[in-house]
Amino acid sequence: MKLNYIQLPIKAHYFFFMAAMGPILPFLPVYGKQLGISALIMVLPGPIFPDHSINNVSCDLLSYCTPQDISKPYLCMGVKNAMCHWTCTNKNFSLLIQFQAINEEINFNSNSTCLIDKNSSYCSENNNCNVTCDKFEDSYCLYTSITFWSFVLLMSLGNIGFNVSNCMSDAICFDILGENGQMGYGRQRVWGTIGFGISAFLAGYAVDYWSKGEIIKTYTPAFLLILIFTTIDLFCCKKLDLPLMTASTNILKDVIKLLKLKSIIIFLCFATIAGILDSFIIYFLFWYLEDLAMTTNCMSKIKLIEGLIVAAETLGGEVIFFSFSGKILKKLGFGYTFTFCFICYALRLGLISLASNPWWVIPIELFMQGPTYALCYTTIVAYASKIAPPGTSATIQGIVAGMDDGFGFAIGSLIGGILYKLFGGVTTLRIFSSIAAITAFIYFILYLKYLKDMIPDTKNNIEWKTPEEAGKKCTIAES
């Protein structure tokens, strides 16, 4: 096997660049969740309190909250409100209580806990009840804290930096591959997938090990891995030997001319829908898994499960489909491949909604990440490279990334957050699955009726002839 030294630096860059993203990018939503940020708030850019169950307690030992007590949660003094459901011998009821959080625990005693609901008469006649508390209210202090706004700022800057670096890397890769080299993109990008999968798995295992089985996870190992891989990637970038490309004399004019084509507008619209689907999976898959883990007693291993899922997605499905994406595109073309990707998105989201515990999501992601994200992403960036006028590669990749990873992610995370908040994870997954299925059908019809003759071909249509045959076909200019 002959080593291509020209393409080696871009492979190394993809590997270490994505390896630097692996320890944190998949875990950002659940890291925000651990800070106490709700699903609805996460879409716009204190700790998790799992349901508490306490046995053999009585609320008649608790006093009623004073007006001064009721105002304490808004003073950010560690006091929180929660809804507690009491299961007693004679009857069941729910009461809103206020408590002082000590090591993220509720301690039922008269010094740290009081009753907010003064109209209840249940406490005087019920003893020895089992209590489950949920719906902890502490969002006011969180959303006015330095922690929250620092998280929002850093997450925004990080996403901007990642997306800019990503589309620039793709543009550089296509420039290195040369004209008509789009089908070789997947063989370069696959190294990023390998790096991402390895580092995400290492981070998941290290975070669980470092946290020693606690529900509140410590992400220090993840940040250390980011620092190591980022440093190595900087050295790899210095070795990139960029080819000299012909610059466009008027980039703006060329791009505007391209955007006037209806087929390009349709492509960008469906690329945005792909971004919508990807964003929900990226931002809410682990969120859903942690909700599922809480109900199936898997929280002690959840970071390991999440790491295994990322490893399965990347080292399994993505490696295969990035490697063979060029052959698939040559065989099916852009139109049929795009349709196939949306069908797979529908199947993937539907299967996840049926998973009975987080462990079942591992095989689903192993088989479905490749034909969804990997193949769809390759199709989008290869199409963008194919249609880009000379000298506008980076600009076109930026526009496509803006629609897919920018506008699409914004819409998807916003809609996903609202739906998740209103209907829960299972229903939201099925809604997005339906959206993917409808999109596949619409694009397939559009492709057959309108786009088939307008989309660039993925095959190498060079026709070789003998010199005599070529002479008959060609017109020779007179000197």
* Of 420, 437, 404, the residue nearest 285 (C-alpha): 420
The pLDDT-based confidence of 44 (bands split at 50, 70, 90) is very low
- The DSSP call for residue 213 is T
In this predicted structure, what is the pLDDT of residue 2? 64
Is the per-residue pLDDT at 40 higher than 60?
Answer: no
Place of tokens 């390009």: 264
Beta-bridge mates of residue 53: 132
pLDDT at 70: 65
Confidence of residue 225 (pLDDT cuts 50, 70, 90): very high
Domain 250-478 has CATH 1.20.1250.20: yes
Q: Which of the residue ranges 115-124, 167-176, 306-315 would you say has the lowest mean pLDDT?
A: 115-124
**Nearest Cα to 455, choosing from 368, 329, 293, 303?**
329
In the beta sheet, which residues pair with residue 96?
83
Q: Give pairs for 105-108: CB < 8 Å, separation 24+.
A: 105/52, 106/52, 106/54, 106/82, 106/133, 108/54, 108/57, 108/61, 108/62
pTM value is 0.68
The whole-number average pLDDT for the span 166-186 is 78
| Category of 100 on φ-ψ map: left (φ > 0), alpha (ψ -120 to 50) or beta | beta
Tokens 């406490």 found at: 123
Packing angle of the helix pair 262-295, 302-311 (nearest 10 deg): 150
- Higher pLDDT pick, 280 / 97: 280
Compute how many other C-beta atoms are within 10 angstroms of the C-beta atom of residue 396. Answer: 26
CB 385 within 8 Å of CB 377: no
Percentage with pLDDT > 70 across the chain: 74
- What Rg value do the Cα atoms of the chain yield, rounded? 27
Determine the average pLDDT of the residues in 19-45.
69
Beta bridge partners, 299, equal none
Does the pLDDT of residue 461 top 60, yes or no? no
DSSP state of 124: G
In this predicted structure, what is the pLDDT of residue 243? Answer: 62
DSSP 1: -
Alpha-carbon span 158 to 162, nearest angstrom: 6
- To the nearest 10°, report the CA torsion of 454, 455, 459, 464: 30
Contacts of 224 (CB under 8 A, 6+ apart): none
460 DSSP assignment: -
Average pLDDT over residues 192-207: 85
Please check the confidence at residue 358 and state whether its pLDDT lies above 70.
Answer: yes
pLDDT score for 152: 78
pLDDT value of residue 224? 92
Please say if the pLDDT value at position 56 is more than 80: no
- Number of Cβ atoms within 10 Å of the Cβ of 82: 22
Indicate the domain borders of the chain.
Answer: 54-143, 250-478
Q: Is the pLDDT of residue 465 over 60?
A: no
Q: How far apart, in Å, do the first and last CA atoms of the chain sit? A: 47
Confidence at residue 47, expressed as pLDDT on a 0 to 100 scale: 37
The pLDDT value recorded for residue 36 is 64
